[in-house]
Structure formats: C-alpha cells, structure tokens
A and B are shown apart, each in its own frame.
Chain A
Amino acid sequence: MSEITKKIQEIAREILEKGEAEIVIGWEKGTFWYLSPPAFIDKPEDTQRLVWDEFCHNNLSKYLLDYKNHEGKVAIFVKGCDSRAFNRLLQDKQVDREKVVLIGIPCTGLKDQDKAKSLGPNGDIPKAQKCMECKYPTPLVYDYLIGGEEALNEVAATKEAPDFSDVKAVEEMTPDERYDFWTKQYDRCLRCYACRNVCPACSCRECIFDQTRIGWIGKANNSSENQFFALTRAMHVAGRCVECGECERACPMDIPIMLLNKKLIKDINELFGKYDAGIDPEGKLPLGHFDKNDPEEFM
C-alpha cells in the first residue's frame, strides 16, 4: 500500500468517526488494475477500500451536484483539476462551501488508461495527455492536504508547459479539411452523453439535449444533429472547462473532445486575455460578463 493511500484511508476514517462529514467520496480499485473508479464511503470500516494511484481519473467534484439538497456534509478528495472544478461550481453557486470538506492531493500526473490496457502492468505507460499539459497539479482549495506543504513543492517541480500544438494543427487545415475532420469524429458519436454527465462544468438542472420533445435537438443520430450537439456543448462549457479531460476519457467512441475545448480556451485567451477557469471563485467569467474593452470586431 502506498504512503498516500494509507494517509487517505486514515483521514477518511477520522472525518467519518468525528462526524465531520456523513460521506467521503474517493477512489477504489476497479475491475482491472488500470481502473480506479469513484467510491462512496459512509462507514469508518469501509475506508480501507480507498486508494490513491495513477488511475484515479474521475473528477469527484461532479458528484457534489448529487448532494446539493443533502442536509449533511460531504467530504471529497481533490486533485488540482478537481479543485478547479470545485471552484467553478462554487462560482456558479452550485455548491455550498460550508457543506463540503475538501481533502487535497498534490497530483504528480495520472497515467493513460487505454495505453495501460494495451501495454500491460509492466509496460512503460505514458502520462495521460491532460496531465502532460496540466498547469495546476496542486489543489487550489482544500481543508486538509495529504502530504503537507512539502508535497506541494514536489508537485510544482513536475509542471510541464501547456501546449496548443494539436489545436494549431487543426487551425492550419483548410475549412474543407477541418469540416471533414470533425464530421468524421462526430459521425461516430453515439450521443450517450457520457461527456456531459461526467463533466463538472455541466451543471444545468435541465439540459438542452434532453429537450427532444420541444425540438431543440432531434432524437435522430446523424451528422447534423451530432454536430449541433458537439458545437452547442463546446460553446456552453467555453470559459468554464477546467481541463480535467474527463469528457474525452469517458467517451466510448474516443472522440477528441478536449481538442474542441482547448480551441475555445485558446480563443478566449487571445480575445479576452489569459484566463484559466476555476482559479478564482470570486472572479468574473470571460464569457459571463460584459467589459467595455471586449473586442467587437463584428460590430
């Protein structure tokens, strides 16, 4: 058992025993060695199920939406990206800070699940793409921190520069090439909505894509409806995406969803100044307020 796993179990047990929270949401080992899905622990003796390893991908902040109307407190573990998601939900008044206990884990980067599956447990498994580009591996907000302040310095040293080369490659395509590229990607979309349901930026109580009866979107699966879905979702999470990469990981059809999200992040940076979502819960959203200095080239 790793040192961090041991600490996670200890702190979870303590929180439950002291009644600081009614439930602790962490990760546990799944069906395969390369899966560490979410675990919901409400008894101190069950805390031994909790783990921390390089496959703890799920962004647990999303689950706070399930406890919005819950009376008691909920404790969750947060990596850097999860903490950004928490800040985002806070900014949108989706969660009550007082009702959540945050346990921060300085994250040195997770491994790519699909590559782990094909390379095997002894293979040299690369980091997940999102982690290679992560600017905030350290939790930005927490009540407890696993490993203490010294762990933060360790993590800070692993930061790698964000890279938009994949976005630039698509930007350099001709419009026809680009249309063809995205059409092919989204023609295989099943519209299972795993991307939406796993996404911490998707917090609408009623989603436009569930309004087929009203007709915002048709039920049919075809290029046109799928592209409408893709574009609407991308625009809707623009300025709110915390780059946790969960949409892309959850997609059963391996659609490069983060490529779309990163394009919007890059555009927002260029149009409205550098902005990273989920850093400052008090700040204003680049697409959520009007500023006299906003570019208005189309006017």
Chain B
Amino acid sequence: MKTIAKAKLPLVLELLAKEYKVLVPAKFEGVTRFTPYQQDVELALEENVIMPPKDIFFPQTEKMYKFKAKDKSLEIEEYPLEDAMQIIFGIRSCDMKSIDCLDQVFLTKSYVDPYYKNKRDRSILVALSCIEPMDSCFCTSMGIDPQKAVGADIQAYDLGDKIGFEAISDVGKEILEKISSLLTEEEVTLPAVGEFNLNADVEGVPEKLKEMFDHPIWDDISRKCLNCSACAYVCPTCHCFDIANEVRGEDGVKIRCWDCCMFDEYTMMAGGHQPRPGKKERVRNRFLHKLRYFPERYDMLLCTGCGRCVVKCPVNMDITSIIRQIKNA
C-alpha cells in the first residue's frame, strides 16, 4: 500500500490544492467541518467533524434561480453551474454512507436533482478509515465498516502515525498517480478497530415498525423532545428542504433551505390544518422516516451511526435507546 507519515499529510493536500479545490476536516470559527485547504488550516483528524459533508452537496441555503416578474411577464435566469473538480478528503465511513443515502434521494427513482448532481459529479471522495471510535459512534450497528467506505474514489487508512492510500475508482487512480512522488510503497497490516461504546440492534426494526404507528411508545419517547432541529441539522442524512422566494420589487430569487420535521411550519397545510400538531407526531415521523419509510423505499436505513444527534441533542434523545425501546415494545 502507498503510505505517507501523518505529519507529512499537508504536503499531499498542498500538492492537490494546486489543481483542485480541496476540502479537509478542520476547525473553522469554533466548529469542525469540511473547510477549503489553505496552509494555515487547522486540520481535525482525531475525531469526526461536527458538521457532516452533507452541506457540500446540499447547502443549508441554496439559490436555485433568479426571476423578474413585471406586469404579466416572467423572466427566469439560471445561475451558471460550476464545473471545477473538487476533492473532499477525510470522509469517515459513516459519512460516506450518508452520501449514498443522499444519492438515492436526489439522483434515483426517476428524478435527478440538477443542483445536487452538479456538485456530486465534480467531487472526488477520499474516505478515511477510523480505528478509535468516539463514545457516541455506532456505525457497525448500522452495517457500516469503519475501515472500508462505500462509494469512495480513494480509501485512505489511518495506520497510527501513517496514512495509507488505496485507489478504488479510475479517478482515484489518477489522483494517487499525481501524489505518488510523496508516497512510499510498503506492506501494511490494518490496525484493529477499537471497542464501540454504543450499539443498536436494528434487525427486524423496519418490519416491526409497520405495526407500531399507534403504539404508546411514541408518547413516552417524545415527551422530553424540544422540537428543535439540532439533530436534523447535524445529521448527515436528514435531507428535507423548503423552497421559498426572496422578492425585492420586481426581482426575486428562488431559494431552497434545510427544513426539519420538528418545526410547526413543516407540515402546515393551506387552510391551516396541521396533521402533525405535537411532539408525538413529529418525533414519530422522524424515527419512522429513518427506520421504516426510507428502508421501504430505498432498501437502506437513514441512519449511519455517526452519533452526532446523540451528542448534540439538548435533552439526550438517543436513537440507539429508541431502537432498543422499539425492539422491547
């Protein structure tokens, strides 16, 4: 395997940054997230980043097109699509799986979302294996291998003081070729992955949930929920959005923004009917979406075990505990 000492990783990033926009896990203004590589970037490779790579493909706020409405005429102007290739370095297996989930939503079942596709098509993904799970990690419970990501162009391996690279796709091979002068070929054994503190047994959960819409468990689970969207906005797979107009006089911009099933406006219908009026209905929807509806439609769970919601929820709503409660119900 081709390897490089961890301390020399910036040389690789530096070299690639001459040709591509390179996004790396880094601490930026107090939060770890994927940040454009620059010499003074504060790399964060010890733990997974707080903000997942979701917003690279599906930004929190995205301008779709401009329009001008005058009298009875309407002109629409598209924004030019970018075509520069970008490399995203250091995506963990859980987040690679989340990109697979987002691909299903935005690229399959007969509708291709042009805004997502453009960013996705020009992104080269370098996955990075994990050897030491964080306290909140449970990816293996979700069928994910922390050392082998799905959909990577290059799989990078955390080898302790070194990083190993393995090309998976043709683009991946090309990229490795470009940095080969910095790498050494050597035999490596992958280090064993540490113990997981959290786990969840999802076997049979999607099927069981089919009969649990009216189960009293939802009253119990939802009582402490605050109906904020901290969980959804740090979630690598939550992908609901709302489309709105920003209008100033004759000119307007169509924007789409992240939205969350915890909010009142989310399901508010014309005429004022609210089909999900309270905590119970909203919390139930969130977990049914992740554990039943999404598997029904796409044959995969909408949770990758990254643990971000478990860490960031102000009232410790813990999906692993909710899965346990569903199993025991």
Interface residues of A (CB under 8 A from B): 30-32, 35, 37-40, 58, 62-63, 66, 117, 184-185, 187-188, 190, 192-194, 196-198, 210, 212-213, 218-222, 246, 249-250, 252-254
User: Quick check: A213 and B316 within 8 Å, CB to CB?
Assistant: no
Least Cβ–Cβ distance between B242 and chain A, in angstroms: 6
- Chain B residues in 8 Å Cβ range of A197: 226-228, 314
Q: Which of B224, B232, B259 has the most CB of A within 10 A?
A: B224
Which residue of chain A has its CB nearest to the CB of B135?
A: A32
User: Quick check: A194 and B230 within 8 Å, CB to CB?
Assistant: yes
User: Quick check: B279 and A66 within 8 Å, CB to CB?
Assistant: yes
User: Quick check: A198 and B29 within 8 Å, CB to CB?
Assistant: no
Residues 38-62 of B, flagged 1 when their CB comes within 8 A of A and 0 if not, give 0000000000001000000000110
Residues 280-318 of B, flagged 1 when their CB comes within 8 A of A and 0 if not, give 000000000000000000000000000000101011101
Least Cβ–Cβ distance between B30 and chain A, in angstroms: 6
A-B contacts, 15 of them at CB < 8 A, read: A32-B135, A37-B315, A39-B224, A40-B223, A62-B226, A66-B223, A190-B234, A196-B228, A198-B315, A219-B259, A220-B255, A220-B257, A222-B61, A252-B230, A254-B31
Least Cβ–Cβ distance between A75 and chain B, in angstroms: 14
Cβ-neighbour of B233 out of A30, A222, A252 (below 8 A) = A252
User: Quick check: A193 and B229 within 8 Å, CB to CB?
Assistant: yes
Bound CA span A246–B31, Å: 19
Least Cβ–Cβ distance between A250 and chain B, in angstroms: 4
Instruction: Using known A-B contacts A220-B255, A252-B50, determine if residue A37 contacts B230 with beta carbons closer than 8 Å.
Output: no
Bound CA span A197–B229, Å: 10
Is B320 an interface position by the 8 A CB rule? yes
Is B193 an interface position by the 8 A CB rule? no
User: Quick check: B310 and A31 within 8 Å, CB to CB?
Assistant: yes
- Chain B residues in 8 Å Cβ range of A194: 226, 228-230, 314
Which 3 A-B pairs rank lowest in CB-CB distance, beginning with the nearest? A250-B314, A37-B316, A30-B316
- Chain A residues in 8 Å Cβ range of B106: none
Is B136 an interface position by the 8 A CB rule? yes
Least Cβ–Cβ distance between B26 and chain A, in angstroms: 13
Cβ-neighbour of B29 out of A32, A184, A190, A249 (below 8 A) = A184
Least Cβ–Cβ distance between B125 and chain A, in angstroms: 24
Is B203 an interface position by the 8 A CB rule? no
Instruction: Using known A-B contacts A31-B136, A192-B230, A252-B234, determine if residue A220 contacts B315 with beta carbons closer than 8 Å.
Output: no
Bound CA span A136–B50, Å: 34
Instruction: Using known A-B contacts A188-B29, A212-B265, determine if residue A221 contacts B315 with beta carbons closer than 8 Å.
Output: no
Which residue of chain A has its CB nearest to the CB of B268?
A: A213
Bound CA span A212–B265, Å: 8
Is B113 an interface position by the 8 A CB rule? no
- Chain A residues in 8 Å Cβ range of B116: none
- Chain B residues in 8 Å Cβ range of A185: 30
Using A30-B318, A192-B230, A193-B263 as known contacts, list a sample of 13 further A-B pairs with CB atoms less than 8 Å apart, ordered by residue number in A.
A32-B135, A37-B224, A63-B223, A193-B229, A198-B228, A210-B263, A210-B264, A213-B265, A218-B246, A219-B61, A219-B259, A220-B246, A246-B314
- Chain B residues in 8 Å Cβ range of A250: 226, 228, 230, 314
- Chain A residues in 8 Å Cβ range of B257: 219-221
Cβ-neighbour of A188 out of B30, B135, B136 (below 8 A) = B30
- Chain A residues in 8 Å Cβ range of B316: 30-31, 35, 37
Bound CA span A252–B313, Å: 8
Bound CA span A287–B190, Å: 64
**Residues B230-280 near A (CB distance < 8 A):** 230, 232-234, 242, 244, 246, 255, 257-260, 263-265, 279
Cβ-neighbour of A219 out of B234, B255, B279 (below 8 A) = B255
Is B209 an interface position by the 8 A CB rule? no
Q: Which of B227, B233, B259, B263 has the most CB of A within 10 A?
A: B233
Least Cβ–Cβ distance between B216 and chain A, in angstroms: 12
Which residue of chain A has its CB nearest to the CB of B224?
A: A38
Least Cβ–Cβ distance between A256 and chain B, in angstroms: 9
Bound CA span A32–B321, Å: 12
Which residue of chain B has its CB nearest to the CB of A34?
A: B135
- Chain B residues in 8 Å Cβ range of A253: 30-31
Which residue of chain A has its CB nearest to the CB of B257?
A: A219
Bound CA span A117–B311, Å: 10
- Chain B residues in 8 Å Cβ range of A38: 224, 315
Bound CA span A170–B23, Å: 33
User: Quick check: A198 and B234 within 8 Å, CB to CB?
Assistant: no
Is B323 an interface position by the 8 A CB rule? no
Which residue of chain B has its CB nearest to the CB of A184?
A: B29
Is B198 an interface position by the 8 A CB rule? yes
- Chain A residues in 8 Å Cβ range of B265: 210, 212-213
User: Quick check: B230 and A219 within 8 Å, CB to CB?
Assistant: no
Least Cβ–Cβ distance between B296 and chain A, in angstroms: 28
Bound CA span A219–B63, Å: 12
Which residue of chain A has its CB nearest to the CB of B227?
A: A197
- Chain A residues in 8 Å Cβ range of B234: 190, 252
Bound CA span A75–B227, Å: 22
- Chain A residues in 8 Å Cβ range of B220: 40
Bound CA span A197–B321, Å: 23
